A and B are shown apart, each in its own frame.
Chain A
Amino acid sequence: MTTTNTPSAITGEESTLWTARLRRRFFGGLPPERLLPDSQPAYVASWIYVFGVLTIAALIIIIISGVALTFEGPLWWHESDVGHFVNSVHFWSVQLFFFSMAIHLWGKFWMAAWRGGRSKTWMTGVLAFLASIGTGFTGYLVQTNFDSQWIASEAKDGLNSVGIGAWFNVLDVGQALLLHVAALPLIVGAITIVHVLQVRRRGVVPPMGFEPSEEAGS
């Protein structure tokens, strides 16, 4: 580690340490005033822009209620009124999550929101959508009721037909539970953070025909 009190210390823009390079790379494209802005362009004042934030709000409720469910296990909601309530909060926040995410997706699709160098924003949104479908699917598999048995027995044929049944065995409740509470939520959360950072970095896409001159034609 380079110290700052030695005459030969290399700091700031000249340092080649990985920490300095990472700092320059992160804050170079995302200075604090862009990361946490206090104003937005006038065109953002539209209800269609609300649904992305609503999706994140629903995701926060999903994570909080999901963490609460992990303490008592997948059978809790069958035998406790409190468990049933927490499970219902979890379930309905997932419905709100997908409801608002689909409207957010439609809005961004018809805006061609990948314009102006925003392809990474669009692609991380696509990945978040796909990972969310997997997370929602494994959630249905761990309901521990006849519904989850039916879904698993039907889905196994589809997954086997595309050759992934050996790795993703939907009849294995333990695998589905761990995927649902650990691996997939981490992936969804990480992609969502990258997606939001991309939105902050590139800004909200302007309406067609109103692009700044440096974005026009990109």
Chain B
Amino acid sequence: MNALMILASDLTGPGTYIKIPLTPIQISVGNLIVIVTMLVTFVLAILIPFPGRKETN
């Protein structure tokens, strides 16, 4: 995890890329982390109750 964070946060050096086998898809580790974080944030935003919300029928 720590190595991933270093790869994602180094904005000055050359990027590190992941190639999905048998597909033309190639993505940088930094972009992949951002996309996964966005998806996780999206799911959490739906699931986590909003403070002060009153449950109604």
Residues of A bordering B, CB below 8 Å: 42, 45-48, 50-51, 95, 99, 102-103, 106-107
B50 to chain A: closest residue by CB: A45
* Proximity string of chain B (13-57) to chain A, C-beta cutoff 8 Å, 1 when within and 0 when not: 000000000000000000000100110011011101010111010
Main secondary structure of the interface of A (DSSP, over half): helix
Please report the C-alpha to C-alpha distance between residue A46 and residue B44 in the assembled complex, in whole angstroms.
11
Residues of B bordering A, CB below 8 Å: 34, 37-38, 41-42, 44-46, 48, 50, 52-54, 56
Please report the C-alpha to C-alpha distance between residue A103 and residue B44 in the assembled complex, in whole angstroms.
11
B52 touches A45 (CB 8 A): yes
Could you say which residues of chain A place their CB within 8 Å of the CB of B46? Answer: 46-48, 107
Interchain CB contact (< 8 A) of A107 among B42, B52, B54: B42
Number of A-B contacts (CB under 8 A): 35
A102 to chain B: closest residue by CB: B38
A103 touches B56 (CB 8 A): no
B51 to chain A: closest residue by CB: A45
A42 touches B42 (CB 8 A): no
Do A106 and B42 form a contact, CB below 8 Å, given A42-B54, A42-B56? Answer: yes
